[in-house]
Each structure stands twice: as C-alpha cells, then as structure tokens.
Amino acid sequence: MKKLAVLLFVCLWGFSAMAEMPVNLGIHGGISSNRIKFKDLRSVHGSEANTGYMVGAFMRANFGQFYLEPALNYSHKKSTAEGIKTSADAKRDNFNLEMNTFDIPVMIGIQVLDLAVVKIRTFIGPQLSVGKIKNLKRLGDVSADKTNWRGKVGVGLDVWKLTFDIDYEKGFQKLSHELKAPRSFNFTLGLKII
C-alpha cells in the first residue's frame, strides 16, 4: 500500500510540474454556432444559424502573464439557406451550406487570474482558414475563395489540465461577392497533454 501511495504522489508531482512548464501541448474539440449571410441573391430569402464542430491540437507558449497559442484544427460549419417562396402556399426550398476547413489560429493572450489550479484568461488573434463550401452550386453561378482570414476574440478557463474557451470568430473579408464574411460562436474543451 505504501508503494502505491508513493507512486501516486510521484505521478501527481510530475503532472503538476509539467503543468507549470513554459510550453504546453494539447488536444481540443468543440461545437460552434455558425451563420453565413447572403447579399444580392434572388434565389435566397435569408439564412439561419446552424451547429458545427471542430477538432485539433494546440501549443501554448507561456511568457509569465502573457501567452502565445498557435493551433491546427479541422472545422465543419453549417448554415441553412432559406429559399424564396414561388407562391404564397409553397414551401421554402431550404438547404445547408457546409464549410469544411483547416484552420490555423494564432492567439495572443493574457492571464487575468492565475491561481495554483485555476486560471482565467482572455485572448485575441488572427486565423487562416483553407477549405471549401459544399452545396454552393444550389445558389447558382457563385464561387467562393478557398482561403479566408478571420479574427477571434474570447475568454478561457483552465482547471488543472482542462481548458474551456468561448470565442467569437468573424471573417475579415467576404467569401465572394454574394456571400458575406462568415461568423460563429465557438465553445471548446481541451486537455493539456504536456
């Protein structure tokens, strides 16, 4: 029993020492609420937000109260397009636009509260997204850029090795003349492996 207690103590001490390292590596995933708005499209009445998901890995370099956090993520986002009614009693022809991208965010953050087990932080930074939109042909002769720059701002909570982030993401440029810059709210749960 004593050997088990000593082994448990050494493991916990090792994990807490790794949590204080200047560089953390981890995995994360989450859900998002997404919306793509349309401009000057006669076939579309409007759009509704829809749910998507994200999975990826991150690295956090700690510099005292500040940190730098690049990541590599795969993101799947959806937005529902509402078609125009052809007559008063006709149903709308709704369909989903799906966006599958590889995202590279680089967040710069600050620790607002830094206790032994709990940390509260804020962050902001750019994100490069590369991918394409499915079902775009349903809108007619519309093509979208495969590369898009976005910005993120949010808050995070770290409890021991777990991280929880809430952020708002918005594109800096339109996807095309007819598609406005996408935006989303993201909820992410992560685990620091190192």
pLDDT for 173-187, tens place per residue? 877 666 777 889 999
The residue that leads in pLDDT, 29 or 1, is 29
d(CA 96, CA 98): 6
What is the reported pLDDT for 140?
Answer: 64
Looking at the DSSP assignment, which residues form a beta bridge with residue 51? 33
Asked whether the predicted pLDDT for residue 142 surpasses 90, the reply is no
Do the Cβ atoms of 136 and 97 come closer than 8 Å? yes
> Whole-prediction pTM value?
0.78
Q: What is the pLDDT of residues 39-66, one digit of tens each?
A: 655 555 456 678 899 999 999 999 999 9
List the single range of 24-28, 58-62, 76-80, 187-191 with lowest mean pLDDT.
Answer: 76-80
Burial of 13 (0-12, 13-18, 19+ CB in 10 A): exposed
The residue that leads in pLDDT, 43 or 188, is 188
* Helical (H) or strand (E) element with 3: helix 2-19
